[in-house]
A and B are shown apart, each in its own frame.
Chain A
């Protein structure tokens, strides 16, 4: 297709243009192009419990420092499976394209999806493509659903969190959120902050292989660490307390947050998780996470009544940590 070509309504019409789009642009998503010839994929799955999840991706801008909507759509869904202790196996990919979307952009996004699938060790086995009129979608929306096989011997679930458990994060926080905000608001960060978008299963697999007992895992996407802590505290009916000094945040992220009035703990991450482990597993888990830039950040207390999540500052004072309220809006001065 020519250089400046754009998506037309006919690309979704089921006719020759659609066939051309599939053949020239989308076929490479599939490890086995035979899958394309049928309405549904037949899968042979390993024995054991399965995990199944779905997520839709509507990020703007479609391309941002360190990733794009394609890498996000594959990695995000694979990471949701990993949080259930499951190895990601297969994904479906549904694309909703807006009339006028540059084909060159679609090509780059598809390329990222292929790369991300390999990095996550999964295959795309079925898909769908629709085209909607100009103005009815924001360039490109992607839905992916994923299936994986649970390799954790014990269930990983918020209901298993107990007082005395320890809290750890798998890396520094806020990079994805800052990358998106900077792209949206035209902020030139020096050095630039790239999205942390990355597969989480390899690290989860290491934890499981080392025999670490894990009570709960949560990826720190929308709403960041603050929302994850709040959700888990409420689900478990316990108080979570974290030490602000121990939370890893790189300097450019902290600086950008200071400037715009954001809390790094509210920013989205796409390659970071929170682990809740029993105290006796801390020695096994902490070194593994620290090797990835992670850290111990706090512990689970009996229900204290004050607020679900407490944060102790470097000065020994204490405050509550609440989830983000409303939209992320930069403040004025």
Chain B
């Protein structure tokens, strides 16, 4: 199985002159304080890595959103993955970052299960699970399928192919989430501070702008689809501040080189064919109405709980009662990850940050994932 690495020219997207020009324009545009949220963890990571927040005029504040699929995967799903991975006949596979996320008990993660003899594998594409299942007909291959609308089409493709091949030893532990309902939940929260959004460019590339138009109409906030490079982020921030200053709520696309208005219809059809929209618990945020994707009943035979009902008696994942906010057992009272995921507080506001909570000994999921806000602050900021 091989992946061809695409060419990408980042020279303009990282140009220091362009960033400087955009920062100057921003300073000339902003007449009052504004608070924006960048939704995606990849954007948070880039902002902190390049120190872009240091280049903003005073009063323009960025708060970091919940767009890290690794961070918001419910503890109950991880507990199910851990229980499955401990079974000698199971091969549990997922994406890299998921292997380090603790379940409901601190320190209990898939890498630990692997060290204790469990068969835990890292995949870069869900379709690799098919080859694994074919190579090990006597074992059950379980794919822990996480991510936003960006990775859901690939999972859908896996479901389609596994069904077509009639593979009986391949199962899914699905925990796909939808980003727009989470944005809506944040705006509706009692402690919301967000006045405008930078929406995630790669979700836009799949889903287009339609869902965001609905959000803007209902909530009356500007949303700017932005990329992940310094120039793209600065352009997105500038566009959002321009809209705020003009009192306009609209969807703007500052990532036109990648995002089309209609998105990727083929990928949308794949998602639609395989998944249905469900209420979904988000770690740290509670149940978000329409916040997740579950396999349609036609594919129920692929659910891990169908294969191992005795291990996974908890309904998974849609109806699972994820504890609200950060009341999960492993989240020590000191961990404020729920507030961080809602953008109410920053990682450096947490008393545990950098002392009792580090990437090596994470107390909350945002410290685990390379896309998590706490991990980004820990990696790039003095404690």
Residues of A within 8 A of B (CB): 185-190, 245, 252, 254-256, 258-259, 261, 306-307, 313-320, 322, 325-327, 329-333
- With A and B bound together, what is the CA distance between A189 and B383 in angstroms? 37
Interface residue tally on B, bucketed by range: 35 or more
Query: Which B residue's beta carbon lies closest to that of A244?
Result: B50
Q: Is B116 an interface residue, CB under 8 A from the partner?
A: no
Asked if B124 and A320 sit within 8 Å, CB to CB, the answer is no
Which of B2, B3, B6 has the largest count of A CB atoms less than 10 A from its CB? B3
- With A and B bound together, what is the CA distance between A185 and B125 in angstroms? 11
The residue that A332 contacts in the complex, of B7, B10, B96, with Cβ under 8 A, is: B96
- Min CB distance A64 to B, Å, is 15
Asked if B51 and A326 sit within 8 Å, CB to CB, the answer is no
- With A and B bound together, what is the CA distance between A65 and B9 in angstroms? 24
Asked if A188 and B4 sit within 8 Å, CB to CB, the answer is yes
Asked if A332 and B360 sit within 8 Å, CB to CB, the answer is no
Q: What would 11 more interface pairs be, CB under 8 Å, given A314-B14, A326-B359, A332-B98?
A: A186-B2, A315-B16, A315-B19, A318-B54, A320-B379, A326-B100, A329-B96, A329-B97, A332-B70, A332-B97, A333-B148
Which B residues touch A306, using CB under 8 A?
382
Please judge, given known A-B contacts A320-B380, A331-B97, A333-B151, whether A187 and B2 are in contact too, CB under 8 Å.
yes
- With A and B bound together, what is the CA distance between A153 and B19 in angstroms? 48
- Min CB distance B43 to A, Å, is 12
For this complex, 25 residue pairs linking A to B, each with C-beta atoms less than 8 Å apart, are: A186-B3, A188-B2, A188-B4, A188-B5, A255-B7, A255-B10, A256-B5, A261-B370, A307-B383, A314-B19, A317-B50, A318-B51, A318-B54, A319-B49, A320-B379, A322-B378, A325-B358, A326-B100, A329-B96, A329-B100, A331-B95, A331-B96, A331-B97, A332-B97, A333-B150
Residues of B within 8 A of A (CB): 1-8, 10, 14, 16, 19-20, 42, 48-52, 54-55, 69-70, 95-100, 111, 122, 124, 146-148, 150-151, 202, 230, 358-360, 369-371, 378-383
Which B residues touch A258, using CB under 8 A?
8, 10
- With A and B bound together, what is the CA distance between A261 and B19 in angstroms? 22
The residue that A325 contacts in the complex, of B148, B230, B360, with Cβ under 8 A, is: B360
- With A and B bound together, what is the CA distance between A306 and B381 in angstroms? 9
Which A residues touch B147, using CB under 8 A?
332-333
The residue that B5 contacts in the complex, of A255, A307, A322, A331, with Cβ under 8 A, is: A255
- With A and B bound together, what is the CA distance between A217 and B360 in angstroms? 29
- Min CB distance B189 to A, Å, is 25
- With A and B bound together, what is the CA distance between A258 and B4 in angstroms? 14
- With A and B bound together, what is the CA distance between A327 and B370 in angstroms? 12
Asked if A317 and B95 sit within 8 Å, CB to CB, the answer is no
- With A and B bound together, what is the CA distance between A32 and B77 in angstroms? 62
- With A and B bound together, what is the CA distance between A254 and B6 in angstroms? 12
Q: Which 8 A-B pairs have the closest CB atoms?
A: A317-B51, A329-B96, A332-B95, A186-B2, A325-B359, A319-B380, A317-B54, A306-B382
Which B residues touch A331, using CB under 8 A?
95-97, 369-371
Main secondary structure of the interface of A (DSSP, over half): loop
- With A and B bound together, what is the CA distance between A314 and B52 in angstroms? 11
Asked if A315 and B52 sit within 8 Å, CB to CB, the answer is yes
Asked if B5 and A333 sit within 8 Å, CB to CB, the answer is no
Query: Which B residue's beta carbon lies closest to that of A328?
Result: B96
- With A and B bound together, what is the CA distance between A319 and B229 in angstroms? 17
- Min CB distance A257 to B, Å, is 11
Which B residues touch A185, using CB under 8 A?
3, 124
- With A and B bound together, what is the CA distance between A127 and B118 in angstroms? 37
Asked if A333 and B3 sit within 8 Å, CB to CB, the answer is no
Which A residues touch B358, using CB under 8 A?
325
Which A residues touch B69, using CB under 8 A?
332-333
Which A residues touch B4, using CB under 8 A?
187-188, 190
Query: Which A residue's beta carbon lies closest to that of B371?
Result: A331
Asked if A314 and B16 sit within 8 Å, CB to CB, the answer is yes
- With A and B bound together, what is the CA distance between A88 and B156 in angstroms? 57
Which A residues touch B360, using CB under 8 A?
325-326
- With A and B bound together, what is the CA distance between A314 and B10 in angstroms? 14
Asked if A186 and B5 sit within 8 Å, CB to CB, the answer is no
Asked if B51 and A313 sit within 8 Å, CB to CB, the answer is yes
- With A and B bound together, what is the CA distance between A187 and B125 in angstroms? 12
- With A and B bound together, what is the CA distance between A186 and B19 in angstroms? 35
Asked if A315 and B370 sit within 8 Å, CB to CB, the answer is no
Asked if A190 and B122 sit within 8 Å, CB to CB, the answer is no
- Min CB distance B22 to A, Å, is 10
- With A and B bound together, what is the CA distance between A307 and B230 in angstroms? 24
- Min CB distance B186 to A, Å, is 20
Asked if A187 and B3 sit within 8 Å, CB to CB, the answer is yes
- Min CB distance B382 to A, Å, is 4
